[in-house]
Amino acid sequence: MPQLMPGEHPIRVTRQHWTIFIPIGLVCALALAVGLVLLAVTPSTVAGHSITTVKTFIGLGIVVVVVAVFMVRWLQWRTQTFMLTDHRIVVRRGILSRFTESIALDRIQDSSVRQRLLARMLHFGDVEIESAGADGSEVLPHIADPSGFSNDLLMAIEARRTGQPFPGGTCGPAIHGGYAPPSVQGDPAQPGGYGPAPGYPRGHDGL
């Protein structure tokens, strides 16, 4: 999780949907199958000399390479996060070198969600964000529950505009360390309690 500014609270942290592993998984499975089939049909002896040990090492090498390729893709997925706070959106990526980008909520002008039929069925998609002073739009690609992220983003923008805390408690399975203001932790009439932003009911949001 990126370092937060003083007074900043995380609302939602999500990653790309698990379906991003389908293409690389298919490629790795195909490469492994082709490599093992070629080894199986290769003669075990050449010019009267056994090459069984060589074939075994080649087979192990193919397995190691395939697993390594898949693990690199997994590490890329694991180290890329999209965090929404009550101040900004923070995008982090990178394995050895880290890249961090922040988009202040005050600069965001609009957001939209792009989903094809399969994406709607499996609950993933792209969130496109238009911000002031940026060349073009920022796209959060292939993230889990894009509609939930977009809804939380709009509520966070409105809450920041009105000077109120984010209206809600936990926001769903894509949350890690979600922020719950005192108004949802106890009676808002108690000292330190406060109510949700105007127009937002108090309660829980519905990967």
Q: What is the pLDDT of residues 62-112, one digit of tens each?
A: 999 999 999 999 999 999 999 999 899 999 998 888 888 889 999 998 889
Query: Given this model, what pLDDT does residue 45 score?
Result: 81
- The pLDDT score that the predictor gives to residue 150 is 93
Q: How far apart are CA 32 and CA 69, in angstroms?
A: 12
Mean pLDDT across 178-191: 38
Query: Region 112-124: what's the mean pLDDT?
Result: 93
Q: pLDDT higher for 185 or 112?
A: 112
Mean pLDDT of all residues in 151-180:
67
User: Is residue 59 helix, strand or coil?
Assistant: helix
Domain 10-16+81-185 CATH assignment equals 2.30.29.30? yes
147 C-beta neighbours (distance < 10 Å), count: 13
Distances (CA, A) of 150 to 19, 46, 88: 20, 63, 13
Instruction: Kindly report the pTM of this predicted structure.
Output: 0.71
